[in-house]
Amino acid sequence: MAKIIGIIVVFASVLGGYVLSHGQIAALIQPFEVLIIGGAALGAFLQANPGSAFMHVFKKSLKMFGARFTHGFYLDVLRLLYEILNKSRREGMMAIEADVEDPGASPIFSKYPTILKDGQMTAFICDYLRIMSSGNMAPHELEGLFDMEIASIKEDLDHPAHAMARIADGLPGFGIVAAVLGIVVTMALLGEVAQAELGQHVGAALVGTFLGILAAYGFFGPLATSLEHDAKEELNVFEAIKAALVASASGMPPSLAAEFGRKVLYPAHRPSFSELEQAMRGN
């Protein structure tokens, strides 16, 4: 909701100030300028990134308008880890084999559809539970493997923000390109049209610069920053999972392992000690 409000504030401030200074909205409607800027930005994006990146970044951008990493989501992650570790401690690691091999059919994982819907996070949890069930890896070796995979996940999560930031950096330049082309058209009309019409062409050219700068600093730049924050929050959840599973592999009881995971989470939405304890007792 805050992001939608932010977009509205940008539009209202810019257009409101323009109208109050006796500007005409019709003068800003320049579809050819939008075509030049938008088409050039899209082409540059496709050149700079892998083929699958466009849909990946597009889907990630749409998620920015929701609130995924909430207090309840963090609590669900910790409850899931506690439940699966508690079952393995009471019944043995082989008892969770069915849960790990088919999380969709698992009575434990099925309680947490939000986590189950995230295929990467579910696979991350299940893969390390498989490794732990083998019983042949020391806790420090397990932690080293965690660190290597989390570094790889970080690179993948950071890519949408970096890609969007580069497009935001290029938009003012594409706006200048559109403006220069507009001036070229205007110069070709010198002596052929009236001064009033020439003024309209110059104004249309300047709209290109305006649109490029506004898109860069009013929309795409903030979106890149939002994607960066989202990546950090998602990576933080993986770090919490790592902390809980390494603690369990080191011999900690499930309740204490979940507490290790809780302490890693960012404070903004981190459940309190008593909330986690009550949730585990409920399970």
Q: Quick one: pLDDT band at residue 54, thresholds 50, 70, 90?
A: confident
Q: Give the pair of three-digit tokens for residue 19.
A: 């109208």
Please state, in angstroms and rounded to a whole number, the distance separating the CA atoms of residues 105 and 108: 9
Write the DSSP symbol of residue 190: T
- The region of weakest confidence among 35-44, 121-130, 132-141, 170-179 is 132-141
* pLDDT score for 134: 78
* pLDDT score for 11: 84
For 202-267, the DSSP string reads: HHHHHHHHHHHHHHIIIIIHHHHHHHHHHHHHHHHHHHHHHHHHHHHHTT--HHHHHHHHHHHS-T
Task: Find all residues with CB under 8 Å of 73, minimum gap 6, and list them.
Answer: 114, 115, 269
pTM of the predicted model over 0.75 = yes
Please state, in angstroms and rounded to a whole number, the distance separating the CA atoms of residues 21 and 130: 66
| C-alpha closest to that of 108 among 131, 134, 77 | 77
Q: Quick one: pLDDT band at residue 243, thresholds 50, 70, 90?
A: very high
* pLDDT score for 173: 94
- Asked whether residue 195 carries a pLDDT value surpassing 80, the answer given is no
- What average pLDDT is seen over the chain? 89
Q: Quick one: pLDDT band at residue 258, thresholds 50, 70, 90?
A: very high
- Asked whether residue 240 carries a pLDDT value surpassing 80, the answer given is yes
Please state, in angstroms and rounded to a whole number, the distance separating the CA atoms of residues 12 and 14: 6
Task: Find all residues with CB under 8 Å of 197, minimum gap 6, and list them.
Answer: 189
Q: Quick one: pLDDT band at residue 279, thresholds 50, 70, 90?
A: confident
Residue 234 one-letter amino acid:
E
* pLDDT score for 90: 87
